[in-house]
Chain A
Amino acid sequence: MIAGIVIGVVVVILIIIFVALYNGLVKRRNAVDNSWSQIDVQLKRRHDLIPNLVESVKDYMAYEKETLTRVTEARADAVAAGAKGPAQAAQAENALTDTLRSLFAVMENYPDLKASQNVMSLQEELTATENKISFARQFYNDAVLTYNNKIQTVPSNIIAGLFNFEKRDYFEAPDEAHEVPKVDLS
């Protein structure tokens, strides 16, 4: 009788622990998905803004065709990579960020552009969108970190293994430090 009660209590406790761990994992995973969709919204917004910007600056910047073409191409790549998951999207988006940055740098040389209300407000929108992307990325990466920690550490890793909770990718920030400078010794 007493043994039965003890076993019953233990089973109930185990079930409660199991449910708590499982729910915790699901919550974390949802947080990751949710914060990814936030990045996605901002990336799409950037994709929508770029053609407008290119359109409004191209008359002023006849000599910068090449820069503009690179921005347009990088945008097309980024749109295409959007469906391929965080790792690929991050790469294409970072390339796009770089081309945009060089476009903004070149725009500094055209005082006429500064006088255009339209261009200025587009630039503010793009800057804000860039910031939103990097803040959303920050939030997403924090969520991924917590989630990955959860599924790799005892005890929740047992449940993660049983129910196929997979490790998630970080949205890598552009990082120049990884590029080893080429040294020409010839």
Chain B
Amino acid sequence: MNFRQQIARNKRDSWFLMLTIVVALLALGFIIGLAYWGDYYGGLGLLGVFGVVAIIWSIIAYYAGAGMALAVSGAKKVTHDQEPQLYNIVEEMSIASGLPMPDVYVIESDAANAFATGRDPQHSAIAVTRGLMHRLNREEMQGVVGHEMSHIRNYDIRFATLVGILVGLIALIADFFLRSLFFGGGRRSGGSGSGGGNVIFLIIAIVLAILAPLFAYMVQFAISRRREYLADASGVELTRNPKGLASALQKIAADPVELRGANRATAHLFIANPLKKRKDKAKSGLLDTHPPIQERIDRLRKMAFEGPLEDEAVAAAAGAPAMAAGPADVAVDGTPLSGGAPVEPPKQPLPDPREMPRPFDSG
């Protein structure tokens, strides 16, 4: 399956998933309505209300979600003159992908992270933290931006925004319902004689209200994890340099700073989970937004067909703020920094696209 097909499948999956979540939302509305008012009209009524709320909420998210995500993270838009190198790197990746130039944002935070948002490639933005700019050299930053550009190309940004909103809505409604029970919802007790059925529906509704958000989160996170792998792979298709992203991820993993301004609603947008509460495990759990970083690095290394990263290179670059004014670290004298496969002299050691082996082009 090549990238084009992957992207097409991604889009299909997204719609299917959206549908599943919408159905779950409506079912939740129906059951809660049934439990509350004890008849089908109540169920259908609440279903309708939830449906309308979901539609309005989604429309708002579709048009304003990107701006909200950027505002919540405290991202500031920058121009070419303010951040020449970052802006240039984003432009390089937009050329490599053939997509329009996204807006470039910087988050003034010491944490090392980055995310992309927007509703389609024509309305997209890439935000990078100041901490990331200080820690990564040009080649690594290119890897990260290539990854984010792939999220844009794969329509992950739209998916993330919409699904995030719908899942949040389910959680909110379920929470609201459970609380209202706790404080003794009024009309339920004064039911019109069909008390027995009511209790059964009530139990179903409670179970559903507890399970639905969990289920929705799990589905969202599962898709989110798979998309991270895909964005890693297709980001490398842009840069043709797996080592850049691999060593960037290494540095991001080593970074202990938690990103303020990131919360559970926006966490899945970032290149690596910004909420570093627990240690990075070797296996990903059902409630992880991101695959374990080590696993991602291993996959990237396999693409590069070579052994572990040179630790001294990582250590050296971590010490020096390479982003500050550095001329491209890469191959000024023709020495490729990333000794990938058969290499030709240009900045990125790019094998000719036609001869490029595509290890991630499986099945």
A135→B345 contact, CB < 8 A: no
B184 interface residue per 8 A CB criterion = no
Q: How far is the CA of A178 from the CA of B333 in the complex (A)?
A: 20
Q: How far is the CA of A175 from the CA of B353 in the complex (A)?
A: 13
B98 interface residue per 8 A CB criterion = yes
Given A128-B88, A174-B345, A177-B342, A101:B332 Cβ within 8 A? yes
Chain B residues contacting A104 (CB-CB under 8 Å) are 327, 332-333
Chain B residues contacting A42 (CB-CB under 8 Å) are 95
Chain B residues contacting A134 (CB-CB under 8 Å) are 346-348, 350
Interface string of A21-38 (1 = CB under 8 A from B): 000000000000001001
A131 interface residue per 8 A CB criterion = yes
Q: How far is the CA of A175 from the CA of B346 in the complex (A)?
A: 9
B175 interface residue per 8 A CB criterion = no
A52 interface residue per 8 A CB criterion = no
B84 interface residue per 8 A CB criterion = yes
Chain B residues contacting A128 (CB-CB under 8 Å) are 84-85, 88-89, 91-92, 328
Chain B residues contacting A139 (CB-CB under 8 Å) are 95-98
CB A49 to nearest CB in B, in angstroms, measures 12
B352 interface residue per 8 A CB criterion = yes
How many A-B pairs have beta carbons closer than 8 Å: the answer is: 97
B354→A145 contact, CB < 8 A: yes
Q: How far is the CA of A108 from the CA of B333 in the complex (A)?
A: 9
Given A121-B84, A125-B88, A135-B96, A130:B346 Cβ within 8 A? yes
Interface of A is mostly: helix
B325 interface residue per 8 A CB criterion = yes
B332→A108 contact, CB < 8 A: yes
A77 interface residue per 8 A CB criterion = no
Interface string of B336-363 (1 = CB under 8 A from A): 0000001011111010111000000000
A141→B354 contact, CB < 8 A: yes
B240 interface residue per 8 A CB criterion = yes
CB A177 to nearest CB in B, in angstroms, measures 7
B259 interface residue per 8 A CB criterion = no
CB B139 to nearest CB in A, in angstroms, measures 10
B93 interface residue per 8 A CB criterion = yes
A173→B344 contact, CB < 8 A: yes
Nearest-neighbor residue (CB-CB) of A31 within chain B: B98
A97 interface residue per 8 A CB criterion = yes
A136 interface residue per 8 A CB criterion = yes
Q: How far is the CA of A177 from the CA of B352 in the complex (A)?
A: 12
A101→B334 contact, CB < 8 A: yes
Chain A residues contacting B238 (CB-CB under 8 Å) are 135
CB B245 to nearest CB in A, in angstroms, measures 15
Given A101-B345, A130-B346, A138-B350, A120:B332 Cβ within 8 A? no
Which residues of B come within 8 Å of A, CB atoms?
A: 84-85, 88-89, 91-93, 95-98, 138, 142, 238, 240, 325, 327-328, 330-334, 342, 344-348, 350, 352-354
Which 5 pairs between the two chains have the least Cβ-Cβ distance?
A128-B88, A135-B96, A127-B328, A105-B333, A104-B332
- Beyond the given pairs A101-B334, A123-B327, 16 more chain A to chain B contacts, judged by CB atoms under 8 angstroms and listed by A's residue number, are A108-B332, A124-B88, A124-B327, A127-B327, A128-B84, A130-B347, A131-B328, A132-B88, A132-B91, A139-B97, A141-B352, A173-B346, A173-B352, A174-B345, A177-B342, A177-B344
